[in-house]
């Protein structure tokens, strides 16, 4: 059972909001709330893309991303990185770790939707 | 009555003994350096050459005539020796370093090695000492006459010889004796250990003799008191009120000057000194010797005045008192004592003067007349030197005899001695300036000494011929050409003063004034500046072998000067020593070869650069007199540059350390800056998180009008909750920031801590029940009052308890609170059975924004709670720490000092 987007976010409110807007956009959603659970969930849920928060408990988003990029079969997974720090350094690290997109909190919902759509390779109005 | 023959035979035998002592002394010091002859004792005894027959005989006479006045003669030297640290120490050190041989040499060396000044000083010394020599001749003559009596029978071989003839005989004998004694060889350092040994022996003899006479007088007079009482009964005024007037001050000044300036004192104290530390012993031993020597002066004088017939010469009381009591052998012993005083003075004085005369007058003249003599061998020069000294000795004693002859009508011994003292005192200002005043110049010193000498000669020396010369008597009365203000004893209209005071005042006043004024008006040459530095800074220079080597070829000297100034003593000496051993020549005979000059130039270039080195050396080598001065100037400037660069080096070292400190401060600032960035970054993150939720839900609500009521409610309440979280966060940040700045928004007051704890547990009860758990109390303190703010203490406790509830993920979660009083402190522990805190996180747990990795899902706090709590407790003078609890979970402990009343 594959899903469209796996969300890795520890803040319950933000997770709820993301879940709401992505579902509303028509995608199927899975979620985890800490860094250690991400890779396992990716293997299990086979998402088409990953929406990854950087500040995750237990293992940071960047560590997770690094692991994914090094894992056979996972390294091509599109990853959208979400960060609340929003500094240039976070963006640079994300680029180095080959994140596919980068969104800074607080974001506009439309911004997230459009980034997800782009990573999923869908055109506006396709669904 | 003793026969003259016996007296003379005894004197000759005594001289023979002295000669033997000198001979043995010379042998012994040559074979074994050190030992008794170089001990402080012998040194001190030899210094007592100061006590001449003037002291031996004359002090008694002086005491008989003028009471305690004679003490002044001892007081000046006492001051100089007790204060040896200031003047004598410098003189000895300088003289050792510069190989100084006499007062003339000292002044000449200090003032740019001026030969003119040396000649002037020598001439003055010879003239000024003549009365002093005459005094000794007179004393010896009088003593022989006194002891041998006047009867033709007793005179024996002296029959038909009058006083003058006797004096001439004594002078001739003394000259012969001194020549035999002092001019047997030429010593480079002008030290005469044998002579010093003999002088020390004589010091013992004269002291013993004088004390023997003193004891005899005490015995004969029945003790001190009867002698004084009898004298008083006879109307002899010992303590005349004007004793301590201006004359007394002048005599003190003169004796102060004499102990430094007298050629024989300089010879013994400075030149013959073999160890600077001997001065230390002499500083108390010599004054002690003088005290012993003066102890019996007054009793002898008083007893003489009462026991001897009126008209007896008081100067001869030492001899005539024992004689009149029939103590012939004591009288003979006293005669030997007085003879000792006279001979030791004459020997040392004429040796010292002959060195001055031959070194500064005869030798330069001979060398100038026979320029070729220079190429002659060393033996020739040595013999020439000895001969010139022998000639000088004859000349000096001859002058002394002449003075004696011309003033033979005067009776008293003391005034003659004071004339000499006043004469040599003219060296004192120049000597003191040499030691202490850098600005003193050669012109000033020469002029000052000359002016002082002329005034002295006019007002003190010349008047002593009053009795033998009608011209002098006329000048004394009328002034030259009847110019009354030039009268020798009333110069410039200053009348009514004691002649001695008058002469001392004008000569020393004009001497000092000339020295000061001319020094300020004239410039010093390079060599003078150099020597002034060596003298004034004698204790300030390291090593300081000075330029004792600089004697001989002018060019080598000049080169050495330059090398020494630029390279420093050590390297210059090393360079010249190497050259000397290479060429097999003496140090001083180095003939600077082109190769040597080249080597020197390279060495100099290393210090001052090649161009300057070349200019310097070519100027020296070309031998231009003016250029030498320029070179010295350059060398001085180089020296200054070197000193400056050393200072710079020191300064740069200081700068380095300052830079290091700055570096440390910078690093701390950078760390602080980093901490601030981290903090802002954290704050940014903590603010953005609730903002994100608020924005996301707001947009959802804005976008979609058709949301169901319940969902809409939920979203709005989330927005509200996140807004509150944001507010709390900002409040906490401000609170923490204020606490960290050290502010305390409250006054500590007595608080019932147990009540506060109860209240906090109550507040958290709802949260605990929500989690299906309970806050349990373990043991409690009975009552405790602490200094705190009740709300803030509650805040801390609620933070700790709610953390324990929130982060407890155990299956059967449990929070335990306990309190106790211990060692005057109140202690609360909050522990849980949750996952606990990893050891690695113990230190981080109180940091801002830190959250345990195993934090549960409810993380409504910003991670500032513990940081704030710790700050609050610190402001209550307590501690908040994480301790190893009894259970597996975390255990936080708050410790607060108890207020005193509850400790009881």
**Is the CA virtual torsion B288, B290, B293, B295 positive or negative?**
negative
As a whole number of angstroms, the distance between CA A110 and CA A112 comes to 5
Across B353-364, average pLDDT = 79
Tell me the β-bridge partners of A5.
A29, A49
**pLDDT band at residue B374 using 50, 70 and 90 as cut-offs:** very low
In B126-162, which positions are buried (b, 16+ CB within 10 angstroms) versus exposed (e)?
bbbbbbbbbbbbbbbbbbbbbbbeeeeebbeebeeee
**pLDDT band at residue B372 using 50, 70 and 90 as cut-offs:** very low
On the question of a cis peptide bond just before residue A28, with omega within 30 degrees of 0, the verdict is no
Tokens standing for residue B816: 């335990």
Neighbours of B177 (CB within 10 A): 21
Contacts of B684 in chain A (CB under 8 A): 84-87
Residue B169 has what pLDDT? Answer: 85
| B 250-269 near A (Cβ less than 8 A) | none
Name the residue among A12, A24, A106 with its Cβ closest to that of B695: A106
Residue, of A30 and B538, whose pLDDT is higher: A30
Whether B690 contacts chain A with CB within 8 A? yes
* 3-state class (DSSP) for residue B637: helix
Neighbours of B856 (CB within 10 A): 14
Give helix then strand counts, H and E, for chain A. 5, 5
For B319-349, the pLDDT digits (tens) are: 888 888 878 888 888 888 888 888 888 888 8
Query: Going by C-beta distance under 8 Å and a sequence separation of 6 or more, which residues neighbour residue B520?
Result: B439
Residue A31 has what pLDDT? Answer: 92
**pLDDT band at residue B612 using 50, 70 and 90 as cut-offs:** low
**pLDDT band at residue B148 using 50, 70 and 90 as cut-offs:** confident
Name the residue among A17, A58, A84 with its Cβ closest to that of B685: A84
**pLDDT band at residue B458 using 50, 70 and 90 as cut-offs:** confident
> Which residues in A have their CB inside 8 Å of a CB on B?
10-14, 16-18, 20-21, 24, 33, 55, 57-58, 84-87, 105-110
Residue B188 has what pLDDT? Answer: 44
Q: How far is A6 from chain B (nearest CA, A)?
A: 18
Residue B176 has what pLDDT? Answer: 87
Query: Going by C-beta distance under 8 Å and a sequence separation of 6 or more, which residues neighbour residue B138?
Result: B167, B404, B408, B413, B416
- With CA atoms as reference, the chain B residue closest to A88 would be B681
Q: Which of A56, A84, A86 to mutate to test the interface with B (most CBs of B within 10 A)?
A: A84
Helix (H) or strand (E) holding A7: strand A5-8
Using the beta-carbon criterion (under 8 Å), do A57 and B684 form an inter-chain contact? no
Contacts of B722 in chain A (CB under 8 A): 13
Residue B375 has what pLDDT? Answer: 42
Contacts of A105 in chain B (CB under 8 A): 688-689, 691-692
Name the residue among B689, B722, B854 with its Cβ closest to that of A105: B689
Quote the longest CA-to-CA distance of chain A. Answer: 39
Query: Going by C-beta distance under 8 Å and a sequence separation of 6 or more, which residues neighbour residue B198?
Result: B18, B19, B21, B22, B25, B181, B344, B347
As a whole number of angstroms, the distance between CA B645 and CA B651 comes to 9
For B626-637, the pLDDT digits (tens) are: 345 555 555 666
Pick from A31, A32, A21, A103: which is nearest to B697 by CA?
Answer: A21
Chain mean position to CA B372: 47
Residue, of B429 and B784, whose pLDDT is higher: B429
**Is it the case that residue B884 has pLDDT exceeding 80?**
no
Cα B678 to Cα B51, B146, B150, B448, distances in angstroms:
92, 113, 120, 82
Residue B865 has what pLDDT? Answer: 82
**pLDDT band at residue A86 using 50, 70 and 90 as cut-offs:** low
Residue B180 has what pLDDT? Answer: 80
Q: What is the mean pLDDT of chain A?
A: 86
**Is it the case that residue B901 has pLDDT exceeding 60?**
no
As a whole number of angstroms, the distance between CA B267 and CA B346 comes to 13
**Is it the case that residue A7 has pLDDT exceeding 90?**
yes
Q: Which of B685, B686, B702, B715 to mutate to test the interface with A (most CBs of A within 10 A)?
A: B685
* 3-state class (DSSP) for residue B543: coil
Using the beta-carbon criterion (under 8 Å), do A17 and B684 form an inter-chain contact? no
Residue B871 has what pLDDT? Answer: 87
Q: How far is A13 from chain B (nearest CA, A)?
A: 6
Q: Which of B680, B688, B862 to mutate to test the interface with A (most CBs of A within 10 A)?
A: B688
Residue B308 is given by DSSP the state: S
Contacts of B691 in chain A (CB under 8 A): 105-106
Cα B688 to Cα A58, B209, B850, distances in angstroms:
20, 114, 17
Q: How far is A38 from chain B (nearest CA, A)?
A: 16
Whether B721 contacts chain A with CB within 8 A? yes
Residue owning tokens 């006459």: B145
As a whole number of angstroms, the distance between CA B746 and CA B787 comes to 11
As a whole number of angstroms, the distance between CA B530 and CA B527 comes to 5
Contacts of A14 in chain B (CB under 8 A): 689, 692-693, 696
- With CA atoms as reference, the chain A residue closest to B693 would be A14
- With CA atoms as reference, the chain B residue closest to A107 would be B692
Name the residue among A13, A87, A106 with its Cβ closest to that of B718: A13
Q: How far is B677 from chain A (nearest CA, A)?
A: 11
Pick from B782, B767, B867, B852: which is nearest to B815 by CA?
Answer: B767
SS3 readout for B4-16:
HHHHHHHHHHHHH
As a whole number of angstroms, the distance between CA B272 and CA B324 comes to 41
- With CA atoms as reference, the chain B residue closest to A20 would be B700
Nearest-10 crossing angle of helices B297-307, B193-221: 50
Neighbours of B496 (CB within 10 A): 6
Residue B463 has what pLDDT? Answer: 82
For B704-742, the pLDDT digits (tens) are: 667 778 888 888 898 998 898 888 888 888 888 888 887
Using the beta-carbon criterion (under 8 Å), do A86 and B688 form an inter-chain contact? yes
Query: Going by C-beta distance under 8 Å and a sequence separation of 6 or more, which residues neighbour residue B380?
Result: B373
Q: What is the mean pLDDT of chain B?
A: 79
Residue owning tokens 């309440």: B717
As a whole number of angstroms, the distance between CA B524 and CA B443 comes to 9
- With CA atoms as reference, the chain B residue closest to A85 would be B685
Residue, of B44 and B467, whose pLDDT is higher: B44
**pLDDT band at residue B149 using 50, 70 and 90 as cut-offs:** low
Neighbours of B716 (CB within 10 A): 14
Using the beta-carbon criterion (under 8 Å), do A105 and B691 form an inter-chain contact? yes
**pLDDT band at residue B460 using 50, 70 and 90 as cut-offs:** confident
Residue owning tokens 């740019």: B112
Tokens standing for residue B387: 């001969």
**Is it the case that residue B70 has pLDDT exceeding 60?**
yes
Domains contained in chain B, CATH given: 4-521 (1.20.1730.10), 531-642 (no CATH), 648-740 (1.10.287.130), 749-903 (3.30.565.10)
Neighbours of B665 (CB within 10 A): 10
**Is it the case that residue B272 has pLDDT exceeding 70?**
yes
Name the residue among A11, A14, A87 with its Cβ closest to that of B681: A87
Tokens standing for residue B682: 């954290």
Contacts of B856 in chain A (CB under 8 A): none
- With CA atoms as reference, the chain B residue closest to A13 would be B693
Tokens standing for residue B505: 């005042």
**pLDDT band at residue B540 using 50, 70 and 90 as cut-offs:** low
* 3-state class (DSSP) for residue B37: helix
Pick from B514, B359, B361, B506: which is nearest to B433 by CA?
Answer: B514
Question: How big is the A-B interface in CB pairs under 8 Å?
Answer: 68
Residue owning tokens 């070829």: B553
Residue B541 has what pLDDT? Answer: 52
Contacts of B859 in chain A (CB under 8 A): 10
**pLDDT band at residue B239 using 50, 70 and 90 as cut-offs:** low
For B179-219, the pLDDT digits (tens) are: 887 776 655 455 678 888 888 898 899 899 888 888 888 88
**pLDDT band at residue A115 using 50, 70 and 90 as cut-offs:** very high
As a whole number of angstroms, the distance between CA B837 and CA B263 comes to 96
Count Cβ atoms within 10 A of the Cβ of residue B667 and give its class: 0-12 exposed, 13-18 middle, 19 or more buried: exposed
Helix (H) or strand (E) holding B573: helix B569-583
* 3-state class (DSSP) for residue B506: helix
Domains contained in chain A, CATH given: 5-107 (3.40.50.2300)
Residue B856 has what pLDDT? Answer: 47
- With CA atoms as reference, the chain B residue closest to A105 would be B692
Residue A79 has what pLDDT? Answer: 92
- With CA atoms as reference, the chain A residue closest to B680 would be A85
Across B451-466, average pLDDT = 86
What is the phi-psi region of residue B308: left when phi exceeds 0, alpha when psi lies from -120 to 50, beta otherwise? beta
Residue B309 is given by DSSP the state: P
Q: How far is A105 from chain B (nearest CA, A)?
A: 6
Residue B615 has what pLDDT? Answer: 57
- β-pairing, B775-777 vs B785-788, is unpaired
Whether B700 contacts chain A with CB within 8 A? yes
Name the residue among A16, A57, A84 with its Cβ closest to that of B689: A84
For B823-869, the pLDDT digits (tens) are: 888 899 888 887 777 777 777 777 777 765 444 445 556 678 888 88
Q: How far is B884 from chain A (nearest CA, A)?
A: 24
Q: If you write DSSP's letter for every residue of A35-93 in order, what string do you get?
A: GGGHHHHHHHH--SEEEEESS-SSS-HHHHHHHHHHSTTTTT--EEEEESS--HHHHHH
Name the residue among B695, B696, B853 with its Cβ closest to that of A58: B853
Q: How far is B859 from chain A (nearest CA, A)?
A: 8
CB B479 within 8 A of CB B471: no
For B541-599, the pLDDT digits (tens) are: 544 333 333 333 346 777 777 777 667 777 788 888 887 777 777 666 666 666 777 77
Whether B689 contacts chain A with CB within 8 A? yes
Q: Which of B679, B692, B807, B851 to mutate to test the interface with A (most CBs of A within 10 A)?
A: B692
Using the beta-carbon criterion (under 8 Å), do A84 and B857 form an inter-chain contact? no
Q: How far is A39 from chain B (nearest CA, A)?
A: 18
**Is it the case that residue B373 has pLDDT exceeding 60?**
no
Residue B481 is given by DSSP the state: G
Residue, of B63 and B562, whose pLDDT is higher: B63
Using the beta-carbon criterion (under 8 Å), do B692 and A11 form an inter-chain contact? yes
Using the beta-carbon criterion (under 8 Å), do A14 and B696 form an inter-chain contact? yes
CB A39 within 8 A of CB A74: yes
* Dihedrals phi, psi of B693, to nearest 5 degrees: -65, -45
Q: Which of B674, B681, B696, B729 to mutate to test the interface with A (most CBs of A within 10 A)?
A: B696
In B680-693, which positions are buried (b, 16+ CB within 10 angstroms) versus exposed (e)?
ebbbbbbbbbbbbb
Query: Going by C-beta distance under 8 Å and a sequence separation of 6 or more, which residues neighbour residue B795?
Result: B868, B869, B872
- β-pairing, B891-897 vs B825-832, is antiparallel
Name the residue among A10, A33, A105 with its Cβ closest to that of B692: A105
Residue B156 is given by DSSP the state: G
CB B813 within 8 A of CB B883: no
For B46-57, the pLDDT digits (tens) are: 888 888 888 888
Using the beta-carbon criterion (under 8 Å), do A109 and B699 form an inter-chain contact? yes
Residue owning tokens 């020191």: B650
Most confident of B86-95, B118-127, B878-887: B118-127
Across B366-370, average pLDDT = 63
**Is it the case that residue B607 has pLDDT exceeding 70?**
no
Percent of chain B whose predicted confidence (pLDDT) is above 90: 4
CB B136 within 8 A of CB B342: yes
For B25-38, the pLDDT digits (tens) are: 877 776 665 566 67
- With CA atoms as reference, the chain B residue closest to A15 would be B693
Chain mean position to CA B684: 69
**pLDDT band at residue B417 using 50, 70 and 90 as cut-offs:** confident
């Amino acid at each position: 059972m594959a899903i469209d987007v796996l969300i890795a976010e520890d803040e319950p409110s933000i997770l709820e909001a993301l879940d709401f807007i992505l579902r509303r956009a028509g995608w199927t959603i899975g979620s985890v709330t800490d860094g250690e659970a991400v890779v396992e969930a990716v293997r299990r849920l086979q998402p088409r893309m990953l929406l990854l928060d950087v500040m995750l408990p237990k293992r940071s988003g960047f560590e997770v991303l690094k692991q994914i990029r090094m894992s056979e079969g996972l390294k091509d997974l599109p990853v959208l990185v979400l960060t609340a720090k929003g500094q240039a350094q976070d963006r640079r690290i994300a680029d180095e770790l080959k994140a596919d997109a980068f969104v800074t909190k607080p974001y506009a919902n439309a911004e997230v939707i459009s980034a997800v759509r782009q990573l999923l390779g869908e055109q506006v109005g396709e669904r | 009555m003793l026969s003259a023959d016996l007296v003379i035979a005894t004197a000759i035998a005594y001289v023979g003994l002295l000669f033997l002592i000198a001979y043995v002394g010379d042998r012994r010091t040559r074979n074994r350096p050190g030992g008794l002859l170089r001990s402080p004792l012998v040194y001190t005894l030899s210094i007592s050459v100061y006590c001449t027959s003037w002291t031996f005989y004359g002090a008694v006479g002086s005491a008989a005539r003028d009471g305690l006045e004679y003490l002044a003669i001892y007081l000046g030297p006492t001051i100089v020796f007790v204060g040896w640290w200031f003047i004598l120490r410098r003189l000895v050190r300088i003289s050792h370093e510069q190989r100084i041989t006499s007062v003339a040499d000292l002044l000449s060396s200090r003032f740019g090695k001026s030969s003119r000044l040396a000649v002037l000083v020598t001439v003055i010394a010879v003239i000024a000492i003549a009365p002093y020599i005459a005094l000794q001749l007179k004393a010896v003559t009088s003593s022989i006459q006194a002891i041998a009596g006047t009867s033709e029978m007793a005179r024996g071989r002296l029959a038909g010889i009058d006083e003058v003839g006797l004096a001439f005989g004594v002078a001739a004998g003394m000259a012969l004796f001194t020549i035999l004694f002092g001019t047997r060889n030429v010593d480079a350092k002008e030290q005469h250990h044998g002579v010093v040994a003999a002088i020390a022996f004589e010091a013992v003899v004269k002291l013993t003799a004088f004390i023997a006479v003193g004891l005899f007088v005490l015995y004969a007079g029945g003790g001190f008191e009867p002698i004084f009482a009898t004298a008083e009964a006879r109307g002899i005024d010992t303590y005349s009120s004007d004793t301590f007037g201006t004359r007394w001050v002048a005599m003190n000044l003169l004796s102060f000057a004499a102990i430094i300036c007298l050629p024989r004192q300089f010879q013994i104290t400075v030149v013959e000194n073999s160890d600077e530390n001997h001065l230390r012993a002499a500083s108390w031993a010599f004054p002690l010797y003088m005290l012993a020597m003066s102890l019996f002066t007054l009793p002898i004088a008083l007893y003489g005045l009462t026991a001897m017939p009126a008209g007896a010469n008081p100067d001869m009381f030492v001899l005539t008192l024992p004689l009149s009591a029939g103590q012939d052998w004591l009288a003979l012993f006293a005669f030997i004592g007085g003879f000792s005083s006279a001979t030791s003075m004459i020997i040392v004085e004429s040796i010292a003067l002959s060195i001055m005369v031959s070194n500064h007058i005869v030798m330069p003249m001979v060398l100038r007349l026979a320029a070729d003599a220079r190429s002659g061998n060393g033996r020739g020069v040595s013999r020439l030197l000895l001969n010139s000294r022998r000639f000088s000795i004859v000349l000096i004693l001859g002058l002394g005899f002449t003075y004696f002859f011309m003033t033979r009508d005067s009776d008293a011994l003391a005034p003659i001695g004071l004339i000499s003292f006043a004469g040599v005192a003219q060296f004192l200002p120049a000597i003191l300036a040499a030691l202490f005043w850098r600005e003193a110049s050669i012109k000033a010193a020469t002029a000052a000494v000359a002016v002082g000498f002329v005034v002295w000669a006019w007002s003190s020396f010349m008047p002593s011929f009053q009795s033998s010369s009608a011209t002098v008597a006329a000048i004394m009365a009328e002034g030259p050409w009847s110019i009354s203000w030039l009268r020798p004893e009333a110069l410039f209209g200053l009348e009514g003063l004691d002649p001695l005071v008058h002469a001392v005042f004008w000569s020393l006043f004009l001497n000092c004034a000339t020295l000061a004024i001319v020094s300020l008006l004239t410039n010093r040459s390079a060599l003078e500046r150099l020597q002034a530095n060596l003298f004034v800074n004698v204790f300030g220079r390291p090593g300081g072998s000075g330029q004792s080597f600089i004697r001989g070829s002018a060019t080598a000297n000049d080169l050495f000067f330059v090398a020494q100034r630029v390279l420093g003593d050590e390297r210059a000496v090393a360079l010249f020593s190497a050259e000397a051993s290479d060429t097999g020549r003496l140090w001083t005979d180095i003939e600077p070869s082109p190769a040597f000059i080249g080597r020197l130039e390279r060495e100099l270039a290393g210090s001052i650069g090649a161009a300057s080195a070349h200019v310097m050396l070519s100027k020296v080598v070309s031998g231009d007199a003016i250029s030498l001065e320029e070179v010295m100037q350059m060398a001085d400037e180089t020296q200054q540059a070197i000193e400056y660069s050393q200072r710079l080096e020191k300064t740069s070292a200081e700068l380095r350390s300052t830079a290091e400190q700055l570096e440390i401060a910078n690093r701390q600032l950078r760390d602080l800056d980093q901490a601030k960035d981290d903090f802002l970054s954290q704050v940014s993150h903590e603010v953005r998180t609730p903002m994100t939720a608020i924005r996301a839900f707001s947009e959802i609500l804005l976008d979609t009008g058709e949301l169901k009521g319940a969902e809409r409610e939920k979203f709005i309440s989330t927005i509200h909750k996140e807004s509150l979280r944001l507010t709390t966060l900002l409040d906490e940040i401000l609170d923490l920031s204020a606490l960290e700045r050290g502010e305390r928004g409250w006054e500590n007051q007595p608080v019932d801590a147990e009540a506060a704890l109860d209240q906090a547990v109550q507040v958290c009860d709802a949260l605990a029940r929500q989690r299906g758990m309970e806050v349990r109390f373990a043991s409690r303190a009975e009552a405790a009052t602490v200094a705190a703010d009740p709300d803030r203490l509650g805040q801390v406790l609620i933070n700790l308890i709610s953390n324990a509830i929130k982060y407890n993920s155990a299956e059967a979660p449990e929070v335990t609170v306990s309190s106790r009083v211990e060692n005057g402190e109140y202690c609360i522990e909050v522990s849980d059975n949750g996952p606990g805190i990893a050891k690695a996180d113990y230190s981080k747990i109180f940091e801002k924004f830190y959250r345990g990795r195993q934090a549960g899902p409810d993380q409504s706090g910003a991670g500032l709670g513990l940081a704030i709590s710790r700050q609050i407790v610190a402001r209550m003078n307590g501690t908040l720490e994480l301790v190893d609890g009894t259970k597996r979970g975390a255990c936080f402990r708050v410790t607060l000092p108890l207020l005193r009343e509850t400790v009881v």
